[in-house]
Structure 1
Amino acid sequence: MILDFGGVLTTRMRLNGQAFEKSEGLEPGAYFAALNENPEGVRVYADLEVGRATQEQWNEVIGKILGIDPTDLMRRALANLRPETVIVDAVQRAREAGIKVAMLSNSFGLEPFNPYAELGMLNGFDAVILSELEQVRKPSPVIYQRTLDALGLAGPECVFVDDHAQNLPPAEALGIMTIHHTDPEDTARQLDALLGQLAA
């Protein structure tokens, strides 16, 4: 079982971003535009994910685009993110049933703010694969294969859960079953159903 971090193992990224915009007094949509539409924002985020930029460089660039204090900006930007209890509980059930579980995340950076440690997500997995450390990010097929290698499993033995549809086809090409995560309760039901099939 392979799960994405932001928006799957945690509460929704969009809700977190909206809360961040409100707390910083930003116009609605400004943060998402900085990340996804501004060329400098897009570049620095892509570079952060593969270790070509530091989190502090991301802080500086995004802070400048938004016109806000860049100090410890990633911590502030992710301040409203919480573990998605329904999914975390499903992971625990899987591990108790003897299923290997990996977290596969395009990195938010690890210093000075480590969101994985902050949310207690560095333990309880058989493998933690972070794009920053691998120097390759989803949807590159390479990072999915490295996750399989870390688990010691073949693609058809695994399921991958992600909230971004574009990240699913490369996993499917390796024979991995995929779940497009849109609702925590529904995803948990699908994972529990797979466990039931394995136990039958």
Structure 2
Amino acid sequence: MVTGVLIDWGGVLTTSLADSIAKWIEADRIDGAHYRSVMREMIDHAYGEGAGENAVHALERGELDGPAFERDLAARLLTLDGVPPVADGLLERMFAGFERVEAMHDMLRDVRAQGVRTCLVSNSWSHTYQRDGWDDIFDAVVISGEVGMRKPEPRIFHHALTLIGLPGAECVFIDDIEANITAARALGMAGIHHRDPDTTIAELESLLRLTLRRA
């Protein structure tokens, strides 16, 4: 029986990262093709099985502060004018387009009302989280930069499970990155690869044997 839900934030409880990035690219006049090439290499390395680490690992664990990462990333990018974008505040501008997905927040309220334990497990990029109402939907909160661990490292999942007092076999993990779900499954958790609220909620209903709100 599933009695715990671990869940990601950006792109799951919010609108998609791709939508937020698209708004930022337009607003800051970023060379989109160049940006995607730079980020694909960094993200594939950070969430793949390659040797060594890059700045994303350090940023997500809080070992590298936001301004330092912004300077590093800005130096790699170009605007349509052929110059690097302004580094100061770069991360906040990148994530400014995130909007709450109310159906997902309502779902968490529903599952908690049924006695299911809930825990946020989010990799932070030194950006600001909109935490209004979190006390209503989470029993515990794990932000990577605050705990010095990151997904898909097993230890961050062990930490989250300890906070809610449940074994992995009684929990489901919801995320929009497949590598993180693979890591959670290796610890005995069920996994839901989030693509849209309706599909995720339907899969969760099946696991929990509950009827949950979609709007």
1:62 is aligned to 2:85:
no
Shift in alpha-carbon separation, 1:184–1:132, aligned structure 2, 3 A: same
2:196 to 166, 172, 183: 183
2:24 to 16, 20, 30: 20
Query: TM-score of the superposition, structure 2-length normalised?
Result: 0.81
Shift in alpha-carbon separation, 1:38–1:176, aligned structure 2, 3 A: closer
For the aligned residues, what is the CA RMSD? 2.2
What letter corresponds to residue 56 of structure 1 in structure 2? P
| TM-aligned CA deviation for residue 55 of structure 1 | 0.8
1:160 is aligned to 2:173:
yes
| TM-aligned CA deviation for residue 70 of structure 1 | 1.2
1:94 is aligned to 2:94:
no
| TM-aligned CA deviation for residue 136 of structure 1 | 1.9
Task: Tell me how far apart the structure 2 counterparts of residues 7 and 68 of structure 1 sit (CA, whole Å).
Answer: 24
Partner of 1:145: 158
Shift in alpha-carbon separation, 1:29–1:102, aligned structure 2, 3 A: farther
Partner of 2:121: 104
Task: Tell me how far apart the structure 2 counterparts of residues 29 and 90 of structure 1 sit (CA, whole Å).
Answer: 36
Task: Tell me how far apart the structure 1 counterparts of residues 103 and 185 of structure 2 sit (CA, whole Å).
Answer: 25
What secondary structure sits across from 1:2 in the alignment? strand
| TM-aligned CA deviation for residue 161 of structure 1 | 0.5
Partner of 2:55: 44
Higher helix share: 1
Task: Tell me how far apart the structure 2 counterparts of residues 156 and 27 of structure 1 sit (CA, whole Å).
Answer: 45
Shift in alpha-carbon separation, 1:38–1:179, aligned structure 2, 3 A: closer
Q: Cα deviations across residues 57-108 of structure 1 (Å, max 9, x unaligned)?
A: 1121122222011121111111101112221111111111121111101111
1:74 is aligned to 2:86:
no
Q: Are the aligned partners of 1:21 and 1:30 in contact in 2 as well (CA < 8 Å)?
A: no
Give ranges in structure 1 of 5+ residues lacking alignment.
Answer: none
| TM-aligned CA deviation for residue 45 of structure 1 | 2.1
Query: TM-score of the superposition, structure 1-length normalised?
Result: 0.87
Shift in alpha-carbon separation, 1:8–1:38, aligned structure 2, 3 A: closer
Task: Tell me how far apart the structure 1 counterparts of residues 172 and 103 of structure 2 sit (CA, whole Å).
Answer: 17
Number of residues paired by the alignment?
192
Give ranges in structure 2 of 5+ residues lacking alignment.
Answer: 47-53, 78-83
Structure with more contact order per residue of length (Cα contacts < 8 Å, sep ≥ 6) = 2
2:208 to 180, 195, 199: 195
| TM-aligned CA deviation for residue 120 of structure 1 | 3.0
Partner of 2:132: 120
